[in-house]
A and B are shown apart, each in its own frame.
Chain A
């Protein structure tokens, strides 16, 4: 027994290192084929020339990025002005995603808290209920939302039939409809990470704070929120990032006025009218923005970890 232990320790560096690499191979392959390769392709495409019926010509060009940032007039020979159209779409996307994230947090935190403070069995039931919507495809869920909230949908009809309102509440094709759709799509992504960190929360910390003269509000602010912060941040990232690039909710619920980045990118690759290099460039700009936020967050985290 002791002998075997010593041997395995001694050979740790040679045999196990080799085995480790072998075991990592599938992960590396998946990351390579499904992450590095497609993103690399998009990066290259964004620097190529567009072909008119969709597709690309293998010729280096900065036209895609130029189109995003600058307006050179209809024939491209006017002096360059800043092009606000796409920046506005970006800004609107960030705003919509931020509002959706905020609603998810406001609703998700109490939900997660509620679930985490249940006892064993009922806790599993609640968690199960949270994941049920995921059994249905996102497209179908978004369309059902559309039917639910449209002017002649069940919600409005119910409210009118009870006499609470006389005219339907107009929700469909507004910013709010998009926010609602995003909120509905990504709420579980907020609940689950917060649940995980609240579940680990040591409730005697709340008692200790109360014992040290803290009011309920102070306990929430100074003790609970800082301790479960990693879960809250993880939840916010998991909601914000996909919301930013979402195209189903804005397409189906927002209509043409409430265009978001996801739809902009989607358009460029759809049918014959698209512009592949431009779509790739918009994707790259979006990706860079997300990476900057995530890198900043990771830096903060490791700083706190070192402290």
Chain B
């Protein structure tokens, strides 16, 4: 059994009357790469700051390996942070920046210097040890911030959108590097991002947050393939939401009626109810066929070329639009605009969502 590194119980954070976090309960495992994902203003950074100790919590509990840390100030928590804008000390060179935490922990100069050498090697900055932050590129500053936070060997490392200030190419390289460093050091990483691709590619598990509430916690695959509600389905990847009438939900299976009156059975999320509901179907799981063979019928209304893929938008009779992803490299028949087509998807590809 793995240990729980961070255990958050029914945490609520209020700013005056504004609810930043509502009743959040979350367990982050030892040695896990855990991502807090959500749109800006959703509360993910607030959650991270409560773990770091920069914000106190209004209600609830927060434990680090079983120890209650809710009342500890940040300098008493064995947790380090990589800040969004890095927050490197501008008057200290790279070595002194990295050494800062070690000296505060009471290490002697020689021990601290040895450790600085180690972490600078880990982030490949050995040759920049004497530079001031202002003399480094954005990517290098980001590594210094990482080295500085890793140096004291924290129990948990918090990363607050550390890649958002980097350009795309660099971001992709650093993603891999971060994963590698997490493997090598075995430190629990809690990573905050609003970028779903970042979250999907790096994390062991992801918590999706919106409006200060946890929406879903799970692996990348679980969240992508079995989103629990409309928000998660729409925020992670692209999806089609088809309005249906639900006649029955039991044991995770739903029976519903498609807009054209066809009955359809598919898996349902927890909390899905009878009545009006939404069916989520990813664009790549929809296929086009002749109108007679399709579950749904519609008119091709738009084509969007995306390089390797193509999106065909099909407008159903009730004006709902369903997007179909077609590989452009194949000799697929791409319907001309105005052509009537049938749409098919398997029961396993669709999912009835909770609202």
Q: Tell me whether B52 is interfacial, beta carbon within 8 Å.
A: yes
Q: Tell me whether A215 is interfacial, beta carbon within 8 Å.
A: yes
Say how far A205's CB is from chain B's closest CB, in angstroms. Answer: 5
Partner among A202, A214, A215, A226 whose Cβ is within 8 Å of the Cβ of B100: A214
Q: In the complex, A227→B87 CA distance in Å?
A: 13
Decide: B91 and A226 in contact? CB cutoff 8 A.
Answer: yes
Taking CB atoms, residues of chain B closer than 8 Å to A124 are: none
Decide: B83 and A204 in contact? CB cutoff 8 A.
Answer: yes
CB nearest to B106 among chain A residues = A213
Say how far B134's CB is from chain A's closest CB, in angstroms. Answer: 10
Decide: A211 and B100 in contact? CB cutoff 8 A.
Answer: no
Q: Tell me whether B105 is interfacial, beta carbon within 8 Å.
A: yes
Taking CB atoms, residues of chain A closer than 8 Å to B138 are: none
Q: In the complex, A52→B149 CA distance in Å?
A: 75
Taking CB atoms, residues of chain A closer than 8 Å to B74 are: 207, 210-211
Partner among A208, A218, A226 whose Cβ is within 8 Å of the Cβ of B87: A208
Q: In the complex, A218→B105 CA distance in Å?
A: 12
Taking CB atoms, residues of chain A closer than 8 Å to B91 are: 226-227
Decide: A207 and B87 in contact? CB cutoff 8 A.
Answer: yes
CB nearest to A222 among chain B residues = B100
Decide: B85 and A204 in contact? CB cutoff 8 A.
Answer: yes
Decide: B52 and A211 in contact? CB cutoff 8 A.
Answer: yes
| Chain A contacts with B in 190-227, Cβ cutoff 8 A | 202, 204-205, 207-215, 218, 222-223, 226-227
Q: In the complex, A215→B101 CA distance in Å?
A: 11
Q: In the complex, A250→B79 CA distance in Å?
A: 56
Q: In the complex, A208→B76 CA distance in Å?
A: 13
Q: In the complex, A250→B90 CA distance in Å?
A: 42
Known contacts A207-B54, A207-B74, A212 near B101 by CB under 8 Å: yes
Q: Tell me whether B75 is interfacial, beta carbon within 8 Å.
A: yes
Decide: B101 and A213 in contact? CB cutoff 8 A.
Answer: yes
Decide: A212 and B85 in contact? CB cutoff 8 A.
Answer: no
Q: In the complex, A281→B70 CA distance in Å?
A: 68
CB nearest to B77 among chain A residues = A211
CB 8 Å contact bits of A294-307 with B (1 = contact, 0 = none): 00000000000001
Decide: B104 and A307 in contact? CB cutoff 8 A.
Answer: no
Decide: B152 and A227 in contact? CB cutoff 8 A.
Answer: no
Q: In the complex, A227→B53 CA distance in Å?
A: 24
CB 8 Å contact bits of B50-84 with A (1 = contact, 0 = none): 00111000000000000000000111100111010
Decide: A213 and B89 in contact? CB cutoff 8 A.
Answer: no
Taking CB atoms, residues of chain B closer than 8 Å to A227 are: 89-91
Decide: B81 and A211 in contact? CB cutoff 8 A.
Answer: yes
Q: In the complex, A271→B149 CA distance in Å?
A: 70
CB 8 Å contact bits of B86-113 with A (1 = contact, 0 = none): 0111110000000011001100000000
Known contacts A207-B54, A207-B74, A307-B132, A212 near B83 by CB under 8 Å: no
Say how far B207's CB is from chain A's closest CB, in angstroms. Answer: 22
CB nearest to A213 among chain B residues = B104
Taking CB atoms, residues of chain A closer than 8 Å to B85 are: 202, 204
Q: In the complex, A210→B89 CA distance in Å?
A: 12
Q: Tell me whether B143 is interfacial, beta carbon within 8 Å.
A: no
Taking CB atoms, residues of chain A closer than 8 Å to B104 are: 212-214, 218
Known contacts A212-B148, A213-B75, A215-B75, A205 near B80 by CB under 8 Å: no
Taking CB atoms, residues of chain A closer than 8 Å to B101 are: 211-213
Q: In the complex, A211→B88 CA distance in Å?
A: 12
Q: In the complex, A105→B283 CA distance in Å?
A: 66
Q: In the complex, A218→B89 CA distance in Å?
A: 13
Known contacts A212-B100, A307-B132, A207 near B152 by CB under 8 Å: no
CB nearest to A226 among chain B residues = B91
Which of A202, A213, A215, A222 has its CB near the most chain B CB atoms (within 10 A)? A213
List 7 A–B pairs whose Cβ atoms lie within 8 Å, in order of A's numbering. A202-B85, A204-B87, A208-B87, A209-B89, A210-B54, A211-B80, A211-B101
9 shortest interchain CB distances as A-B pairs: A212-B101, A213-B104, A208-B87, A204-B87, A210-B74, A226-B91, A211-B81, A213-B75, A210-B75
Task: Given contact pairs A209-B89, A211-B74, enumerate 17 new A-B contacts (beta carbons under 8 Å).
Answer: A204-B85, A205-B90, A207-B83, A208-B81, A208-B87, A208-B88, A208-B89, A210-B75, A211-B80, A211-B101, A213-B105, A213-B152, A214-B104, A215-B75, A218-B104, A226-B91, A227-B90
